[in-house]
């Protein structure tokens, strides 16, 4: 099957998935206790004020009617208006998503740079230092909650030692000066594109601590999968044949073994990246990172139905898109794999 036909089929499957996700999220959010109109109006608001807010946002209509109207707006590209920000949810997502994308990319780069070499080294030297370190990393990633690691990291490296910035994407003074024009919303890329190395370095410095904490979500998985996959590949006959031909060990490992061992690593990496892009709620909340995760957390607190639905639909689209790209790369890495 051609790539275009395969992508077309996968994108068509996105329609019923989005419909199901929107239906479940819509009705689950409505059965939660609480009244968003009352939360926005405040405890001292009168019943008449609350009733006006409910009517303004259509919360006084039957649930089925609200859902049908919401679907009709989504088809036209309108995700509704946020109860909290009083802005279009689409505009909110466009503002917050680049921050999450930048954080997720930084976390995945850190995961790949550390996890893949560590997994390869652990597979090559069983019982060695690298193997023991990979075991500790895998165990720590499962045992330590990411919000605890983020909180402890913030306390140590920001409050106690003062080595790293605590929150936000830039220093406050630099952020208020509007030193970098926002083209893509990715501060590192925009500052580099503008040639502003001062903002570029500051944005990178602000990424170090949250990206390191967030990478603990994916790093143990990548290390374990790389280690086990590499061990399996090293036992294959074609690796023994390459060594018998007298090829240098570095070429055997890098060209023949690692390329095939990376296929399952790519799978877990793609799934993890899709998850991180969907919103790293805990890390973003701890570090005050203005991304989708923090936006979703605030929206849930205020029962902002349209915002919660918008984040859910965006996360679904991102997750499916990332998995589609992973499947395409599969076929490029291994000619035996065909798109069906």
For residue 118, give the CATH number of its domain: 1.10.3720.10
Tell me the pLDDT tens digit for each residue of 120-166: 888 887 777 877 887 887 777 777 788 888 888 888 888 888 888 87
Q: pTM of the full predicted structure? A: 0.82
Same domain? For 175 and 283 the reply is yes
Please report the pLDDT score of residue 151 as a whole number: 87
**Beta-carbon neighbour count of residue 152 at 10 Å?**
12
pLDDT band at 75 (very low <50, low <70, confident <90, very high): confident
Residue 335 reports pLDDT greater than 70: no
User: What is the pLDDT averaged over residues 238-247?
Assistant: 78
- pLDDT-based confidence at 268, cuts 50/70/90? confident
More confident residue, 294 or 46: 294
- List pLDDT tens digits, range 193-216: 878 888 888 888 888 889 888 888
Q: Tell whether 82 is covered by a domain.
A: no
- Say how far apart CA 105 and CA 246 lie, in whole Å: 39
Q: Are residues 166 and 124 in the same domain?
A: yes
Cα-Cα-Cα-Cα torsion 308, 313, 314, 319, nearest 10 degrees, comes to: 130
91 lies in a domain? no
Residue 228 falls inside a structural domain = yes
Do residues 101 and 71 both lie within one domain? no
One domain for residues 9 and 110: no
Tell me: do 143 and 201 sit in the same domain.
Answer: yes
Are residues 84 and 299 in contact, defined by beta-carbon separation less than 8 angstroms?
yes
- Least confident residue range of 37-46, 124-133, 220-229: 37-46
Residue 217's pLDDT is what?
Answer: 80
Q: Tell me, yes or no, whether 112 and 254 share the same domain.
A: yes
Q: Which residue has the higher pLDDT, 191 or 50?
A: 191
Q: What is the pLDDT of residue 163?
A: 83
Q: Is residue 290 within 8 Å of 306, Cβ to Cβ?
A: no
Write down the pLDDT at residue 180: 66
Residue 315 lies in a domain: yes
pLDDT over 60 (residue 339): no
Angle formed by the axes of helices 129-143 and 89-124, nearest 10°: 150
Determine the structural domain holding residue 38 and report its residue range: 3-75
Q: Give the count of domains, the chain.
A: 2
- The answer as to whether 305 is a domain residue is yes
Where a domain ends, among 22, 40, 75? 75
pLDDT of the residue at 319 = 81
Same domain, 19 and 135: no
Clarify whether residues 50 and 156 are in a common domain. no
Cα(238)–Cα(256) distance, integer angstroms: 8
Mean pLDDT confidence for 291-314: 83
């Amino acid at each position: 099957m051609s790539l275009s036909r395969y992508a077309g089929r996968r994108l068509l499957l996105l329609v019923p998935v989005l419909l199901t996700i929107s239906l479940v999220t819509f009705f689950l959010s409505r059965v939660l206790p609480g009244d968003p109109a009352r939360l926005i109006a405040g405890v001292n608001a009168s019943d008449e004020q609350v009733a006006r807010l409910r009517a303004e946002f259509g919360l006084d209509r039957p649930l089925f009617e609200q859902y049908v109207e919401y679907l009709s707006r989504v088809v036209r590209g309108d995700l509704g208006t946020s109860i909290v920000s009083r802005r279009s949810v689409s505009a909110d997502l466009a503002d917050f998503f680049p921050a999450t994308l930048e954080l997720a990319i930084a976390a995945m780069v850190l995961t790949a740079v550390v996890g893949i070499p560590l997994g390869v080294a652990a597979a090559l030297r069983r019982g060695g230092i690298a193997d023991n370190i990979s075991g500790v990393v895998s165990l720590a990633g499962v045992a330590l909650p990411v919000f605890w690691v983020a909180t402890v990291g913030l306390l140590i490296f920001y409050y106690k030692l003062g080595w790293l910035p605590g929150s936000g994407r830039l220093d406050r003074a630099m952020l208020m000066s509007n030193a970098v024009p926002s083209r893509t919303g990715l501060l590192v890329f925009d500052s580099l594109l503008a040639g502003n190395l001062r903002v570029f370095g500051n944005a990178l410095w602000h990424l170090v601590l949250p990206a390191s904490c967030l990478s603990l979500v994916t790093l143990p998985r990548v290390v374990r999968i790389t280690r086990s996959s590499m061990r399996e590949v090293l036992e294959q006959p074609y690796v023994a044949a390459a060594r018998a031909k007298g090829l240098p060990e570095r070429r055997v490992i890098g060209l023949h073994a690692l390329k095939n061992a990376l296929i399952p690593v790519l799978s877990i990496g793609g799934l993890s990246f899709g998850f991180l892009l969907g919103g790293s709620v805990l890390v973003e909340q701890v570090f005050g990172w203005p991304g989708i995760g923090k936006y979703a957390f605030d929206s849930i607190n205020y029962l902002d139905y349209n915002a919660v639905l918008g984040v859910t639909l965006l996360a679904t689209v991102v997750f499916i898109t990332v998995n589609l790209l992973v499947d395409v790369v599969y076929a490029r890495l291994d000619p035996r794999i065909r798109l069906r």
